[in-house]
Amino acid sequence: MLILEIMLSLLFFLAFGPWCVYSEERLLVEMTLVPNATVNGAVCLDGSLPAYHLHRGFGAGVNNWILQFEGGGWCNDIPSCLERAKTRRGSTRYMNKLEVFSGILSNNASLNPDFYNWNRVKLRYCDGASFSGDSKFDNGTSLLYFRGYKIWEAIIHDLLPKGLATACKALLSGCSAGALATFLHCDNFTKMLPSNASVKCLSDAGFFLDERDISLNYTMRSFYLDLIALQGIEKNLNQNCMRSTNNSKLCFFPQYALKYITTPYFILNSAYDVFQSTFPQQFHHSLIPPSADLHGHWNRCKLNPAMCNANQINVLQGLRHDMLVALNSFYKNSISGGMFINSCFAHCQSESQDTWFAVDSPRIHNKTIAEAVGDWYFSRRITKEIDCPYPCDTTCHNLIPSAQV
């Protein structure tokens, strides 16, 4: 009996390799550090090595790749970046060495029908600027590395000889701050792959608007401008966008950069994205920053959309309106583009199994997010789904997320 168990264990190891650990319900994938990253200064905020998690494809998907940028907000000044450097958001030293792969990263055909057998990679986020910065802070006492762009390049160069260089199909995806990274790196990713590869990009909850808050201030714009200046981002923004925009730094916003991206693109977003609308007050760069709600009139609404009064609902409907206006040209003119804009109070819907593809997943016209993305990627049909306004959608999974996004 012992010999049989050993043989079964050996067969399991040979079949699946040392990079993954399975439980009954979860796929856990081991972290891979990028050993040569320091040669080019591609390090996290604290100087630690960057990392990713790779689960190999199989069968018909062995030459296809999904790269998923991890999300996690930003830091736009020295104090917040120093604090971040002591956490998993700024250092691989504090990260879990095993990551759950679910949703679009699942290897289960019944849970991820179009991409389950692809090579799936999660790029860990440790630079605080959506993988876009290239500078350093050193005042003799404190040292911070803002090397997100170099981290992106280092991970790609580590993956190319592992099969990415011969990819037939590829999808660059991301959630939240990671979704913003897809806007910044989409065309660059296409150039790194074979010219005959089918390369496309997906943003999940990354269409951050250049929107006035309820005090009519550009809080998010101000936050981003500080971020761009601190981390040396401007030189890595879309050059065509920068040449065509009066304020080149605004090309950090997807609504300005999108029309200059030539790679086929899919935008998955809630029209009432909780990061931009009713997100908890720890985040000041939103539609309702604490500075604009000193008396806490929005507190109950932030916890439950059903508690919002008529005026607050009107403000949220205004956010939806502005998002659809910003996407109007993409909706009408992009032949290769796709959309799934639902009316759920959510943030990041592709990595969570219950929102990606499940019996009770959110739907628009009876189509799940996974089905919409798959139809678009494989050109099965045009996929530009826009939900009716809140509160009409009864399929939503309304989320009140934690402070870590």
pLDDT in tens, 109-166: 999 999 999 999 999 999 999 999 999 999 999 999 999 999 999 999 999 999 999 9
pLDDT given at position 352: 94
Q: Give the chain's radius of gyration (CA, Å).
A: 21
277 and 352 in contact (C-beta within 8 Å)? no
Q: Would you say residue 385 has pLDDT above 80?
A: yes
**Strand 169-174 and strand 198-204: pairing?**
parallel
Q: Would you say residue 84 has pLDDT above 80?
A: yes
Region 260-286: mean pLDDT is 81
The rounded distance, in Å, linking the Cα atoms of 260 and 241 is: 6
Domains and CATH numbers, the chain: 17-386 (3.40.50.1820)
Q: Which residues are catalytic?
A: 176, 273, 347
Q: What is the DSSP secondary-structure string of 340-393?
A: EEE--S-S--SSSHHHHSSTT--EETTEEHHHHHHHHHTTSS--EEEPPPTT--
pLDDT given at position 25: 67
First-to-final CA distance of the chain: 47
The rounded distance, in Å, linking the Cα atoms of 334 and 329 is: 8
Closest CA to 345 of 289, 399, 269: 399
Q: Return the SS3 of 92.
A: helix
Q: Tokens at residue 222, please?
A: 């101000």
107 and 61 in contact (C-beta within 8 Å)? no
Q: Tokens at residue 309, please?
A: 């009064």
pLDDT given at position 279: 59
Tens-digit pLDDT profile for residues 162-178: 999 999 999 999 999 99
